[in-house]
Structure 1
Amino acid sequence: MARIANNQPVDLSTPVNLSVGVISRLACPLGKSQAFLRDTVAPGLRVRVAPTGSKTFVVERKVGQRTVRRAIGDVRHWTIDAAREEARRLYVLLDQGVAPEDLRPVAEKPAHDAVINTRADAAWAIYLADRKTHWGERHYNDHVVMAGAGGVPYKRGKGKTQPGLLHDLLACQLNELTPRTIEGWAAEQAKTRSAQARLALRMLSAFLNWCGEQDAFKAAVPAGAAAVKSRRTRDVLGKAKAKQDALMREQLRAWFAAVRSMGNPAISAYLQIMLLTGARPGEVRAIRWSDVDWAWRGVAIDDKVEGSRVIPLTPYVAHLLRSLPRRNEWVFASVDAAEGVISSPNDAHRNACVVAGITPVTLHGLRRSFKSLTEWLEMPAGVVAQIMGHKPSATAEKHYTVRPLDLLRVHHERIEKWVLEQAEVQFDPAADKKRLVAITE
């Protein structure tokens, strides 16, 4: 019996044991008006896919010299088991001599019991397939990991990944996702990872809302998202607290000394640039050499909110970038990483904070530090927000204030100069520029 690997396209020429995952990856080949995938379990059961992406369960049988097909229903409205049962019924009718023109499938909406007994993970897979085009890649992958079975070897180090927080919960039937079930799950998760559990709960709430809007599933989730909003569940997981970790002005000297003495120049530059630009950890990590405009002194950043933004290439940041070797397309390259770029250096930064004798600050805390340190300079809030990639918070900022790169650079270079002075980092932009000219010649 043929099976399809998760990372392989669906081969329409080979019958398969139909599953939600296979159906979600099914696509109509280019140039075809329709295509069919055969099931190995129920005789005559097919999934028909159109160029538009719509998918329908159908039953197919040879009657005399012609092929007869009859639609069963949309794959979003039928479970696989219910479609197999209906395919067998129609197949038997054809065996009994019922004329094809008299053959009529039952109403497209499956039996009530079939809906009620739908497993949550089957509905979850359909939910992800339906929402994928509306989500970003990272948001979609977060949902996949949250419901994953785990057991995948770590890319670095020994051991395997753990099951996602929603994995066991989604193994239930949809009608079993009651407030009592979710309260018990929340109480167990709160013992070790309440923050992640709150994120999982928000994902589950959105999923149940979606189920409540689908004819195929709404009968199974009468409580809908209300099932995750009981007072006991909220009390058990608690409320998220705003993080306050940030470097103080007095800590800059020790922090820079520890980070600049690190053995890995890419990580050292990465951490310093994070503090001096206020960019998000992933945004700095994703910078390519092609994103750096040396002529007009700007750096293009993949902004998670707006898609992209350009920030000034300040003198010390430019100095750090020039000191890095060009191993591949990535600025912060790594010869050991499979992707060719450094992984998130949380441990390295934590160790540097210990060496500096300060309470460890998270990578996002460096972004928070940038914003906090600018308060010493009474910098315009709109300037800082534009550099950091925050959305404008006022009508004047949103519709009337336009700061080109050269104007933004005036403020940003002032911030960088002040931070380096507080850190007692000796850096002369003019001397650095002369040194570079001498090397070029």
Structure 2
Amino acid sequence: MAAFKCPAGKQQAFLWDDGAPGLGLRATPGGKPAYVFQGAYGGRDVRVTIGSPTAWSIQDARAKCRELQRLIDEGKDPRSLKREAVAAQQQQEAESLANAVTVGNLWPTYLEEGKPKRRDAWKPRYLEDLRRMSSPGGEPKKRGTGVTRPGPIWPLLSLRLVDITEDSLKDWHDNEAKSGKHQAARALMMFRGFLRWCATRREYRALVDKDAGRAPALLENLPSMKRRTDALEAAQVAGWWAGVEQLNNRTASVYLRALLLTGARREEMASIKWQDVDFQWRKLTIADKVEDTRTIPLTPYLAQLLATLPRHSEWVFASTRPLSMTRENIRRRERDSTQSGREAPAGNVATVGASGRMSDPRELHLKAQRSAGIDGLTIHGLRRSFSLLGEAAGAPAGAIAQVMGHKPSATAEGYRPRSVDALRPFLAQIEAHILALAGVQLDEKTEPGRLRVISAP
């Protein structure tokens, strides 16, 4: 049979079997011979390819031919059955391939194409949090020694989508909560966003349970997510101001007061460079969390405060020397000083970021609070304090929101953005109110910006 060829000048040729009616060997000019079955179904010829003679013996081919004839006798079209079998096989292979998709396969696409509700794209800071939460760790720490640990979402990246269930998420969350309950809870909230995104994609919708992260067994164990409400009361401003003013670290002292006088976020204020401070036209440009930047008035007292800082580098709130201290080192210094009966020096306790600017003055802020008898005031609480004190000073809500970099509200006083000069009297009004509460008298004659440049050691 292997010698059977298609004669020249013909498109195909058949060699029919006498032992099984309808069984033939078909040859074409450019192809190899193949067994075929030919019968009649519904008054028309039906031809089905069985296979190559190298794979099918004549006995097996005859048996297959009789099987196909029986299907026709039963009123079934063997061609349809073959197509259905091929389609079923392809569907099974596609399902097997889809079931093998892992969270890690889709996570980069989610970071690139995903977005929060009613927004066009991720906020840069949230996107960075997503990356940090899913990082493998092992990188040198920016502060302190050692390497970073894997992000809480990292263990989920190796799981298949079909394996993300209520039980698997609970096991993951319970394990991550051992290292930090609030961090694990935030990671869960972020991962729920990923599940919702998968559910919007046609190719992954059937593979994911978007409600797996909302199972009662998970939610009942989440820590309380109450919003912080800490803020300075009017009667506490004087004590807090005195405590901050007496800090040995002049840079941190000015930094903390600048937060209260502007309502800026911690990182926004820490990232200010000298090029962002315009002493001539009294403007301050801040890297904004929502927009790229925002420009606010540079009020008289804040201008004088900033002008007292030495210019060691491009950063306004720079480190006096590249000292990096972890919180554990700080606690050890305080413990040692307590045992020796001497107060721990605070001149360089604020943690220094990798870039050489101050990034974590929380320990110094705690020290200032202790001296003022204040408890539980976070650095972000200074931002809330600005808002509340601004209201007490009589400034419009829209002006306060614009200075703080809040997203504009259409309901707040028919909000429309004000120019820097239009904001100036309101921010000066707030500053004057805070200074009055702090018992500070402003010397209007002092000209800011006239300072000596100190070269780095």
TM-score by length of 1: 0.68
2:73 is the counterpart of 1:126: no
Change beyond 3 A, Cα 1:386–1:134: closer
- Which residue number in structure 2 is paired with residue 407 of structure 1? 422
- Which residue number in structure 1 is paired with residue 366 of structure 2? 350
3-state DSSP class of the match of 2:402?
A: helix
Judge which range, 360-369 or 151-160, deviates more.
Answer: 151-160
How far apart, in 2, do the equivalents of 1:405 and 1:124 lie?
A: 42
Alignment of 1:139-178 (within 5 A): 139-178=126-165
3-state DSSP class of the match of 1:367?
A: helix
Q: Which amino acid aligns with 2:354?
A: A
3-state DSSP class of the match of 1:343?
A: strand
Residue ranges of structure 1 left out of the alignment (5+ in a row): 1-105
Match of residue 299, structure 2, among 314, 318, 323 = 314
TM-fit CA distance, 1:192:
5.5
How far apart, in 2, do the equivalents of 1:110 and 1:372 lie?
A: 62
3-state DSSP class of the match of 1:385?
A: helix
2:168 is the counterpart of 1:181: yes
- Which residue number in structure 1 is paired with residue 315 of structure 2? 330
TM-fit CA distance, 1:321:
0.9
2:250 is the counterpart of 1:265: yes
What's the Cα RMSD here?
2.9
How far apart, in 1, do the equivalents of 2:264 and 2:440 lie?
A: 21
TM-fit CA distance, 1:152:
2.7
2:184 is the counterpart of 1:197: yes
How far apart, in 2, do the equivalents of 1:438 and 1:361 lie?
A: 33
How far apart, in 2, do the equivalents of 1:353 and 1:380 lie?
A: 30
Change beyond 3 A, Cα 1:436–1:184: closer
2:308 is the counterpart of 1:293: no
Paired residues of 1:146 and 1:200 also in contact (CA < 8 A): yes
Q: Which amino acid aligns with 2:221?
A: V
Change beyond 3 A, Cα 1:120–1:423: same
How far apart, in 2, do the equivalents of 1:272 and 1:175 lie?
A: 52
Q: Which amino acid aligns with 1:330?
A: W
Paired residues of 1:383 and 1:411 also in contact (CA < 8 A): yes
Q: Which has the larger radius of gyration?
A: 2
- Which residue number in structure 2 is paired with residue 102 of structure 1? none
What does the per-residue CA deviation read over 1:324-359, in whole Å, with 9 as the maximum and x for residues that have no partner? 122222211224143132113222212221232210
Paired residues of 1:190 and 1:237 also in contact (CA < 8 A): no
Match of residue 113, structure 1, among 86, 90, 96 = 96
Residue ranges of structure 2 left out of the alignment (5+ in a row): 1-88, 323-352, 453-457
Q: Percent identity?
A: 41
3-state DSSP class of the match of 1:310?
A: strand
Match of residue 364, structure 1, among 363, 372, 380 = 380
Q: Which amino acid aligns with 2:402?
A: Q
TM-fit CA distance, 1:107:
7.9
Paired residues of 1:150 and 1:160 also in contact (CA < 8 A): yes
TM-fit CA distance, 1:213:
3.6
Paired residues of 1:116 and 1:217 also in contact (CA < 8 A): no
What does the per-residue CA deviation read over 1:202-233, in whole Å, with 9 as the maximum and x for residues that have no partner? 22122122323445533432x2x211112222
TM-score by length of 2: 0.65
How far apart, in 1, do the equivalents of 2:419 and 2:142 lie?
A: 42
Q: Which amino acid aligns with 2:429?
A: R
